Amino acid sequence: MNVPNASTFSLQFRCKKGVENSNSRVSAIDAWMVRTFLKSIGDPGLRVTLWDGKEVASGGAAPAAGLLIRDRGALRRLLVNPFLNFGDDYSAGRIEIEGGLVALLETVYQAMARTDGFKKDSDPAAFRRNQPKLNSLSGSRDNIHHHYDIGNDFYQLWLDEEMLYTCAYFPDKLATLEDAQIAKMDLVCRKLRLQAGQTVVDAGCGWGALARYMARRYGVTVRAYNISHEQIVYARQRAEIEGLAGQIEYIEDDYRNISGRYDAFAAVGMLEHVGPDHYQELGRVIDRSLTEHGLGLIHTIGQNRATPMSPWFLKRIFPGSYPPTLSEMMNVLEPLDFTVLDVENLRLHYAKTCEHWLWRFEKNVNRIQEMFDECFVRAWRLYLSGCVANFSIGALQLFQVVFSRPTNNRIPWTRSHLTGPAGEP
Amino acid sequence: MNVPNASTFSLQFRCKKGVENSNSRVSAIDAWMVRTFLKSIGDPGLRVTLWDGKEVASGGAAPAAGLLIRDRGALRRLLVNPFLNFGDDYSAGRIEIEGGLVALLETVYQAMARTDGFKKDSDPAAFRRNQPKLNSLSGSRDNIHHHYDIGNDFYQLWLDEEMLYTCAYFPDKLATLEDAQIAKMDLVCRKLRLQAGQTVVDAGCGWGALARYMARRYGVTVRAYNISHEQIVYARQRAEIEGLAGQIEYIEDDYRNISGRYDAFAAVGMLEHVGPDHYQELGRVIDRSLTEHGLGLIHTIGQNRATPMSPWFLKRIFPGSYPPTLSEMMNVLEPLDFTVLDVENLRLHYAKTCEHWLWRFEKNVNRIQEMFDECFVRAWRLYLSGCVANFSIGALQLFQVVFSRPTNNRIPWTRSHLTGPAGEP
């Protein structure tokens, strides 16, 4: 397992500092700062307690959740730049939550959504604030390394058996995460209408589960690209053990270097890392990769209106990431005259997936703290809780988009291929 | 039945003229003009015969179809402005087709799609060339009157029993048009998850079939808007006869004047007439009309890349119409933070629907010629054949888009509600 160093995992830096001045007396100015902060985020109805135990905001009759701010520095930083500093100070233990982090985040996000200051129109350059320049060939490698190469052992503690780190599909809400991830892979294969003997390119293959499922269940051969070294090593090893190495080639390279022609193009949980500046480039890659009657599928986190991600999320969790709107996504497809055949929004499935991940994460929290430190645990708890909250309240979407060339008349006539007996291996 | 006059149906004007100079001898210049014309549209491999019977282009080994150009004026006009004049001169009988109009149009469109001059990028202002300013309140009324008020008797000759003038849904390719239109209405109702007792607004209701189906089959009450007087008169009469008048209010008014709040918003075959300049206005209408947990559905002709419609189509058939790209459609939904739940592309279903219409049209061609004149028959044959061709070759799409408010968590969990036993009345 690779333990990240300061240069690749900048979260470490903030966590060195402890709580400051926690014995300082709470003043009227402190209470005013709390009220000002709450007002700035739309008065979400939170109980707020300060470092001396004093409750300076009651949150109304039935507050959904409460904040304990453990020093004046953290309070000041909330006023200065809440979107970066809440995350850092929560991670560092200077802010504590009462009543559940997911509930708190949902309450805050909903309050913000009702507040004029945050009710913005789409921002056509929203994604540029996400440092899209970093998504050059070398920039993408750094960004991906930051998140995905922090250790396969870590991800194995809270992902499913097959190591899928993308939205699952729960045909039944009570399905296990394992079953729901298999159902998701099968849904993707059905949408692509895979037939034995076909060739598939998987752009951004993670730990390689989808490629293995396609090869095993649908009898196709897959070339799977990924720039995360740790993931590729894992994927190759597992394919060998499962006897699938002859059907799958895992390639440690960028999507821009994809070569060959394929009956199907799949990008599952990959577009989030491309950056809208590079969508037309991706479209050209698909154009040169897809056969005349090939089908493509992009599965990505999305949003309704173009809005940048929070600076904390970008700095500490997923640098260079951006969830596109559907109209932004069309910049991949429309310039090349691709035809959109089907779009499905699996938003609530992603809320449930993240709940499963968060639950497994918490079950293994002691082990994770040993691997990293408490600050890491708190940062990732915040990240996973934020995902649950954002998908639950409708701030994030999950779009599955199926497309073909415009002249392809062998497209599915109805959706009947998406249900019924599973495809033949 | 209203027979159109010159001011509302400008096609009449061109048709007064007959064939000119048809005895004039074919010269080398005429043959050169034919070659130049064919080259300009990508050398589609057509046989071309001129007015003296001389074949001046063979179309290669197996020409898909042939053109007979009956006078020099028509040939010249093809060179000057083929996109307006082909339609007018075909309508006037100065151009004849051998081997089938649909086959000819498919061949020509495909050749154009391969030709650099037509391989354009999306044109961000494509729709402006479609006179969007005419889609003001009064302009829309004129545009709609031009097409939809030319006589219910006429449309009854070639539409299905329920008078649906939008893409049908053929669960089985061999289904009748009648069954496929009912299946389409049921699909719309299922996508909207209609429940007895709910309220629906139908924006642009045509002859009112969808509203009748919803009321009869799903037990909802419907307010249905339309600015075509002829259609509203028909719809009201039929609802009364069928005992549905208590559940449906047909309102002769513009979508911009929709009032009230509804559990469902449906716009089937209506967005084509709105014009992208008015999409945000439509979005605001939907926003004020939809309840908190309401679902909306827009069913519209679309395209992959923004391209203006042909000038002949705009002038003679559907003034002010425009089929949006998906990204253009998002201008209805994204500014208001609506969430796209589902997109289905029914392109090949529309090709089949238009084939049915064209076949029924031809079966009744003598009656239609008595109602209007030969020029009208030829113009409409060209229009319906062009629809078959455009949907067949993938130049036009049919998008069904389902959406909700972002915070609505009562959205369908899967697509299981779209299949299985029909909804309860």
Q: Mind listing the pLDDT tens digit for each residue in B159-177?
A: 999 999 999 999 999 999 9
* A340–B342 C-beta distance less than 8 A: no
- Number of Cβ within 10 Å of residue A418's Cβ equals 18
For residue A334, the chain B residues in CB contact (below 8 A) are 122, 304-305, 325-327
Q: Where along chain B do its domains lie? A: 11-114, 126-418
Q: Please report, in angstroms and rounded to a whole number, the separation of the first and last CA atoms in chain B.
A: 35
User: Can you give the pLDDT at residue B148?
Assistant: 80
Residue A356 to residue A360: CA distance in whole angstroms:
6
C-alpha distance from A305 to closest chain B C-alpha (Å)? 6
Q: Please report, in angstroms and rounded to a whole number, the separation of the first and last CA atoms in chain A.
A: 35
**Domain A126-418, second-level architecture:** 3-Layer(aba) Sandwich (3.40)
User: Can you give the pLDDT at residue B375?
Assistant: 94
DSSP E strands in A174-322: the ranges are: 199-203, 221-226, 248-252, 262-268, 290-302
pLDDT grade, residue B215 (50/70/90)? very high
* B325–A334 C-beta distance less than 8 A: yes
Residue A400 to residue A418: CA distance in whole angstroms:
13
Share of residues in chain B with pLDDT > 70 (%): 91
pLDDT, tens only, A29-40: 999 999 999 999
Instruction: Measure CB to CB from residue B305 to each of A122, A334, A342 and give the nearest one.
Output: A334
User: Can you give the pLDDT at residue A53?
Assistant: 93
Q: Which of A11-20, A315-324, B43-52, B114-123 has the highest mean pLDDT?
A: B43-52
Instruction: Measure CB to CB from residue B330 to each of A171, A327, A397 and give the nearest one.
Output: A327
Residue range A139-149: mean pLDDT, rounded = 79
Instruction: Measure CB to CB from residue A334 to each of B304, B341, B416 and give the nearest one.
Output: B304
pLDDT, tens only, B71-110: 999 999 999 999 899 999 999 999 999 999 999 999 999 9
Share of residues in chain A with pLDDT > 90 (%): 77
Q: Are the C-beta atoms of residues A188 and A342 closer than 8 Å to each other?
A: no
* A335–B330 C-beta distance less than 8 A: no
| Relative orientation angle of helices A28-40 and A72-80, to the nearest 10 degrees | 30
Average per-residue pLDDT for chain A: 91
User: Can you give the pLDDT at residue B424?
Assistant: 42
User: Can you give the pLDDT at residue A425?
Assistant: 36
Q: Is the model's pLDDT at B8 over the cut of 50?
A: no
pLDDT, tens only, A312-365: 998 899 888 899 999 999 999 999 999 999 999 999 999 999 999 999 999 999
For residue A326, the chain B residues in CB contact (below 8 A) are 326-327, 330, 334, 340
Q: Is the model's pLDDT at A7 over the cut of 60?
A: no
Residue A69 to residue B293: CA distance in whole angstroms:
37
Residue range A60-83: mean pLDDT, rounded = 92
User: Can you give the pLDDT at residue A9?
Assistant: 44
Q: Is the model's pLDDT at B318 over the cut of 90?
A: no
Q: Which residue, among B402, B329, B304, has the nearest Cα to A327 in the 3D structure?
A: B329
Instruction: Measure CB to CB from residue B326 to each of A110, A330, A407 and give the nearest one.
Output: A330
Q: Which residue, among A109, A81, A92, A75, has the nearest Cα to A386 in the 3D structure?
A: A109
- Number of Cβ within 10 Å of residue B51's Cβ equals 22
Name the more confident of B238 and A141.
B238
Residue A385 to residue B396: CA distance in whole angstroms:
43
Residue range A125-144: mean pLDDT, rounded = 73
**B266 φ, ψ to 5°?**
-125, 135
Q: Are the C-beta atoms of residues B97 and B67 closer than 8 Å to each other?
A: yes
pLDDT, tens only, A368-399: 999 999 999 999 999 999 999 999 999 999 99
Q: Is the model's pLDDT at A299 over the cut of 90?
A: yes
Q: Is the model's pLDDT at B193 over the cut of 90?
A: yes
Q: Is the model's pLDDT at B121 over the cut of 80?
A: no
For residue B410, the chain A residue with the least C-alpha distance is: A348
Beta-carbon pairs below 8 A across chains A and B: 118
For residue A331, the chain B residues in CB contact (below 8 A) are 327
Q: Which residue, among A366, A382, A364, has the nearest Cα to A374 in the 3D structure?
A: A366
pLDDT grade, residue A145 (50/70/90)? confident
SS (H, E, C) chain B: CCCCCCCCCCHHHHHCCCCCCCCCCCCHHHHHHHHHHHHHCCCCCCEEECCCCCEEECCCCCCCCEEEECCHHHHHHHHHCHHHHHHHHHHCCCEEEECCHHHHHHHHHHHHHHCCCCCCCCCCCHHHHHCHHHHCHHHHHHHHHHHHCCCHHHHHCCCCCCCCCCCCCCCCCCCCHHHHHHHHHHHHHHHCCCCCCCEEEEECCCCCHHHHHHHHHHCCEEEEEECCHHHHHHHHHHHHHCCCCCCEEEEECCHHHCCCCEEEEEEECCHHHCCHHHHHHHHHHHHHHEEEEEEEEEEEEECCCCCCCCHHHHHHHCCCCCCCCHHHHHHHHHHHCCEEEEEEECHHHHHHHHHHHHHHHHHCHHHHHHHCCHHHHHHHHHHHHHHHHHHHHCCCEEEEEEEECCCCCCCCCCCHHHCCCCCCC
Residue B275 to residue B320: CA distance in whole angstroms:
7
C-alpha distance from A113 to closest chain B C-alpha (Å)? 10
Q: Which residues contact A314 (CB under 8 A, 6 or more apart)?
A: A130, A131, A308, A320, A321
pLDDT, tens only, A159-180: 999 999 999 999 999 999 999 9
Q: Is the model's pLDDT at B178 over the cut of 80?
A: yes
Q: Are the C-beta atoms of residues B399 and B343 closer than 8 Å to each other?
A: yes
User: Can you give the pLDDT at residue B135?
Assistant: 79
Instruction: Measure CB to CB from residue B334 to each of A122, A340, A341 and give the nearest one.
Output: A122
User: Can you give the pLDDT at residue A136?
Assistant: 81
CA dihedral angle for residue A109, residue A110, residue A113, residue A118, rounded to 10 degrees: -40
At the top level of CATH, which class does the domain B11-114 belong to? alpha beta
* A393–B348 C-beta distance less than 8 A: no
Q: Is the model's pLDDT at B230 over the cut of 90?
A: yes
Q: Rg (Cα) of chain B, in Å, rounded? A: 23
Compute CA distances B158 → B365, B386, B390, whole Å: 10, 16, 20
User: Can you give the pLDDT at residue A237?
Assistant: 98
Which of B414, B417, B418 should we substitute to test contact with A (largest number of A Cβ atoms within 10 Å)?
B414
* B392–A409 C-beta distance less than 8 A: yes
pLDDT grade, residue B401 (50/70/90)? very high
At A292, list the tokens.
């005349």
pLDDT grade, residue A13 (50/70/90)? very low
Q: What angle do CA A360, A399, A112 make, to 5 degrees?
A: 75
> Which of B1-10, B16-25, B154-163, B365-374 comes out lowest in average pLDDT?
B1-10
Fold of A11-113: Nonspecific Lipid-transfer Protein; Chain A (3.30.1050)
User: Can you give the pLDDT at residue B124?
Assistant: 72
Q: Are the C-beta atoms of residues B347 and B394 closer than 8 Å to each other?
A: yes
pLDDT grade, residue B136 (50/70/90)? confident
Which of A279, A345, A392 should we substitute to test contact with B (largest number of B Cβ atoms within 10 Å)?
A345
Q: Which residue, among B139, B179, B138, has the nearest Cα to B161 in the 3D structure?
A: B179
Residue A358 to residue A363: CA distance in whole angstroms:
9
Residue A85 to residue A68: CA distance in whole angstroms:
15
Name residue, tokens 């309102």.
B251
CA dihedral angle for residue A13, residue A16, residue A18, residue A20, rounded to 10 degrees: -60
User: Can you give the pLDDT at residue A148?
Assistant: 80
C-alpha distance from A391 to closest chain B C-alpha (Å)? 10
For residue B330, the chain A residue with the least C-alpha distance is: A327
pLDDT, tens only, B28-77: 999 999 999 999 999 999 999 999 999 999 988 888 899 999 999 999 99
* B406–A395 C-beta distance less than 8 A: yes
At residue A72, the 3 state secondary structure works out as helix
Compute CA distances A53 → A56, A71, B284, whole Å: 9, 11, 48
Q: Which residue, among A289, A224, A298, has the nearest Cα to A268 in the 3D structure?
A: A298
For residue A389, the chain B residue with the least C-alpha distance is: B407
DSSP A115: S
